[in-house]
Structures are given as structure tokens and as C-alpha cells.
Structure 1
Amino acid sequence: MFNHLAGIAMAPTVRALADRGALELLTEAPGWVVFDEIVKRTRANRGYLRVALRLMASSGWLSRHVEQSGRDTAYQLTAKGRLALEIAPQPYGEVVAFLPKAISFEDHVFGASNAPLVSALSELVERACQRWGIRPGPDTDSEEVRDQVRGHLDGVLVGPVMVVLPQAGVEEASVAPQAVARKEPMKEKTPRVDWAELLRRTFDLDVFACVRCGGRRRVLAYVMAYA
């Protein structure tokens, strides 16, 4: 379960690092890559970049060189990380487009029908049923990494559903007959918490904070179709 939920943070993180050239830098390096070199290559906010690299390290994809002060100074891809980066960035890019829709997922699922969202979600579910096109690995280590990546991808779809269904009363409805038989009161609905707030609580990631100016972002529109 935790591996699945980690995908909500890992997919956009890995995709962003790939787009900024950080993964290419780490892949091509024969040894340790100094943190300042990664900053120079990506032009990223140093604080957010440290969080992103530590997230990859927590998945076993990076090794960290840590000073006595506790600060990371260099990073190196592990064997597991090199295997993962051969297969992960492209499918992560597919599911990242779904994350903005997850912020208002309940409105779309239980509100007015939204054909583009249904179509996009159906395509992703079909990809999930096909194990995201990731073939079995040739050995135990490779298959372990592939399962980890598949779990991350599944989590981007499963996570929002796990939150939405109980809030919409589906969980309560499923236990209602037993509760009535025991003459037990039904639980009150859990107040809705949007996905931006859930990401902040779980991963200390404020998606509405601008890393450049410190201002607040706002949702202007939802893109429902792939480019």
C-alpha cells in the first residue's frame, strides 16, 4: 500500500527531474555527482531539489553522501536506480497528466459527467490492466524494480479512488446492512479534504507554492486530453 501511495509523489518528481536533465546527468556520471552540479544543470530551487533527490533515495534508487552536519553533498545512482530509470520516466509522464484532475476527482466522479475525463481515465485503467506495458524482468532484481514502478503507476489511480469512495458514502453503504442489524449508528461522513491538502499533509509538498517568487498558484483550468 505504501509503495502505491508513494507513486503520487514519485511519478511527478521523476518526470520533473528527467525534463530538467538531472536524470541524464546522474545516469552518465561514472561516480558521485555533487549537489551543486545538479543545481547548475537543472536551475532548480535547492530546497525542493533536495526533497526530490531524497525521495528517490528513499525508494532505493539513489545513494547519498552525507556530511557530519547531516546535509547531502553528492548523489549516485544505485544499480536498482539504473534499472528503474530505464523504464520509469515515460509511463510516469502518462500518469502525471492525471494528477491535476485528482484534485477535484470527487466532483468529476459523483457530479456531472465529464467525457474527456472518463476517456482519459479509461485509457489509464486499460494500461494498468496491461501492467503498463512493462514486461517481466530477466532476473529477480529486475522484476522487483519493475513491480515497484508498476505499483507507483497504479497508485496514481488508486490513491484518489481510496479517498473519494468513503467520502461519497460508498464505504458506509457497504456496511449499512450489518450496522442496521446490530442497531449501530452509521458513521458520519468524513469531511472532504482536497488532494492539494492531502499532498501537503503526507509529503510536505505544497503544490500551490511558487518556488520562484513564493506566491500562491491557483487552478485556471483542467486539461483533459493528451497533447
Structure 2
Amino acid sequence: MRLAGISAISLDLDDTLWAFEPAVVRAEQVLHDWLLQQAPKSAPILSSPQVLRDLRVQFEAMRPELAGNMRALRLGSIRLVLDMSNEDPGLAEAAYDAFYAARQQVDFFDDALPALEWLSQRFPLVAVSNGNANLKLTGGHQFFRASLNPQSFGSGKPGAAIFHAAADAAGCAPGRMLHVGDDPDLDVAGAIAAGAQAAWVVRSEEASAAQWSRSSPPPHLIVRDLRALCQALDA
């Protein structure tokens, strides 16, 4: 598939602008340490930060209606820890605040900020993420016209509504918007189903057009990083 008539660009955040795993591991370590200090009876349960991740997964299985609501899922799993420890449930909000502040400490890929500067000088940019990163806290908000996620918008990817809202925020039709992201289902298939164009960012050495072996339409563009995206759009 070929790019055609791009008037605006929407971008995923986690694993597109920065690596998600290091950020969440760091945040879970902060949360783990906070709970051990402020809710010491949780120590027998919290043998490692991994327990927090396991409990979050467990809580999501218990409350599937909260899928996509990152704040509610994390907050609910913190309350689960406090309840299991016979600690004060009123500590949950402060514990979440400690986690959330640490989660915003991300390390941008080397190509990301220079690419955002170049892209923002040529296209209106809109962030479209299923995560709860806040660009005003991570940095980089100055490059974006708007930022959408399930908490702020009400639904997330791969649903068409959030892509259509991004196109509206950028002031163009969905077909004139290029969505850029790392997830082949949420970003590529979701954007194409919504009538947008899609660029798949695959930072591994194995990335190639021949690897796209899905029943859904292939991405319009496959790039190794955002520097390559800029080069393709400048060609």
C-alpha cells in the first residue's frame, strides 16, 4: 500500500516514542517501596514488585468491564493489596499518585524528539494511546495539537471512534491522516479499519514488509524508527 495525501499524523506513545517496559518496571518499584514504607503489613505479600503486576492482572480478570481504564485497574489492584494486608484502604490514592508520577518518567528513543520537531513543523500531530502517559509530564506536549486516550476520550484503539476523533482534532478527514504506531492490531489494523492510513514502527532487526502475514490489509508503510518515517515523508 502507498501513502497518499497525508494532511495530519497521529502517533501512539508507549513503545513508539519510548520503551514502555522500563517505565512501568520503574514505577512498580516505586509503588512497591512506597507500600512497604507506608503500609508495612503488606510486606509478606509484596515479596517483589512483580507481585504488583500479577495482582493488577488478577484484578483486571475480576473486573473485565474496567479493561482499558489504566487508573481504575491500578488503583483497584492497590486496594486489593491493602485489603489483603489489613491496611488502611484510604492509602490507595496516595499510593497510586506515587506510581503515576514515576510512570511519567520515560526515556524517549533517540530518534523520537527530533522526529517530532520535524513532523510538527509540517503536520498537525495528535497523540492516540491506550496508555495513561501524560505528555505534559513526560515532555513532548509542545509538538501535539491534542492527546487522546481511553480515560480522556471514553474508548480506545482499535475502535474507529478514537481515530476519527484524532482526525477531527487535526482538522482532516480520516483518509488524510497517517497513524503511526508499533502494535500491528491496535495501531495498524485499527487505523486502517477506521479509514486512516497506517505506518508500522518495528524497531527490531527482523522487520520487513514480507513479515506482514495477516488477513487484514498491510500497513501503508513499515519503518524501523521515526527518523525513517521522516525520511519517507520527505521523499
- The question of a shared fold, defined as TM-score above 0.5 by the shorter chain, is answered with no
TM score, norm. by length of structure 1:
0.22
Q: Which has the higher strand share?
A: 2
Q: Which has the higher helix share?
A: 1
